[in-house]
Amino acid sequence: MRNAIPRLALLLVMASPVAGASLDDPARNAMPPPAPKWLRPSGHVLFSDDFSDRELKNWTADREGVWTVRSGMLKAELPDLKQEHSFLYAGSEEWTNYAVELDVCGMRGVDKGVAVRVEGESGIGVDLRGPGYQDVVLNRREWPMGKARVTNGNGVWHHIRIEARDHHYKVWVNGALAIDKVDSRKARPRGRIALAAYSGGVGECTVYYDNVVVTALE
């Protein structure tokens, strides 16, 4: 029997309100507003992608048919079924201290986020939860590490920065520090990044990402 809580629990614990998905939702094919201007952070860049080349040659997806590049932006879309998920991986499992910044725009659904320090299928997840929640959460596998109130509506770009330095994690949303947490278990010393698509209990997910940059931290 298929596990009712799939691999998503190893990265991001995302809880969405239960509701019926609409096949006629106009947001399915709607384009988001133009992505923010590309602003490269200072420091030694380990990885960057603004998707202008329309390719995903430096990324690895865990399933086909979810991740595409549309109008110079990364798009993820899942079937209208509950608890569907997919991850798109980049970088090296040897990365230790680094910061990742990106822009994200959810068009349908609740959850959108990124995981850091990913080894295999396990990492530290950041989930920016929209309609019904309006918060950001930090998780180590299925264990919550932090949560903060953050307004983040669909159809709007939001900027996320995550710093992973030793076992100290900081999360900024739209320039404001939201979470500042030390992992007392010292569970994840290194790993790559992963972008997430998750339909959750609402049973829908269309999300765009852009301007992904990973920089080394001393």
Q: What is the pLDDT of residue 37?
A: 77
Sheet with 85-90: list strands edge to edge: 60-61, 85-90, 192-198, 113-119, 122-129, 135-140, 143-149
Least confidently predicted of 8-12, 158-162, 168-172: 8-12
Q: Residue 43 has what pLDDT?
A: 87
Q: Is the pLDDT of residue 21 over 70?
A: no
Residue 187 CA to residue 124 CA, distance in Å, equals 9
Q: Residue 58 contacts by C-beta under 8 Å, 6 or more apart in sequence?
A: 47, 49, 90
Band (pLDDT 50/70/90 cuts) for residue 10 is very low
CA–CA dist 82, 15 (Å, integer):
11
- Is the domain defined by 41-216 classed in CATH 2.40.110.10? no
Q: In the predicted model, what is the mean pLDDT of residues 127-153?
A: 94
pLDDT at residue 24 is higher than 80:
no
Across the range 43-49, mean pLDDT stands at 95
User: 32-41, 97-106, 118-127: which has the minimum mean pLDDT?
Assistant: 32-41
Task: Report percent pLDDT > 70 for the chain.
Answer: 88
Among 67, 47, 177, 64, which Cα is nearest to 116's? Answer: 47
Beta carbons within 10 angstroms of residue 62's beta carbon? 14
pLDDT reported for residue 26: 74
On average, the pLDDT of the chain sits at 88
Q: What angle do CA 153, 61, 37 make, to 5 degrees?
A: 45
Lowest mean pLDDT across 34-48, 52-66, 101-115: 34-48
Query: Could you tell me which residue, 41 or 113, shows the higher pLDDT?
Result: 113
CB 15 within 8 A of CB 142: no
Confidence at residue 78, expressed as pLDDT on a 0 to 100 scale: 97
**Each residue's pLDDT tens digit, 181-208:** 999 998 889 999 999 999 999 999 999 9
pLDDT at 141: 78
Q: Is the pLDDT of residue 23 over 60?
A: no
Residue-level pLDDT at 217: 96
Q: How far apart are CA 86 and CA 89, in angstroms?
A: 10
Q: What is the pLDDT of residue 17?
A: 40
Residues 6 or more apart whose CB falls under 8 angstroms from that of 124 comprise 115, 116, 117, 138, 139, 140, 145, 164, 169, 183, 188
Which pTM was predicted? Answer: 0.87
Q: Is the pLDDT at 174 greater than 50, yes or no?
A: yes
> CA 129 → CA 68, 85, 109, 211, distances in Å?
22, 15, 9, 20
Quick check: 14 pLDDT over 50? no
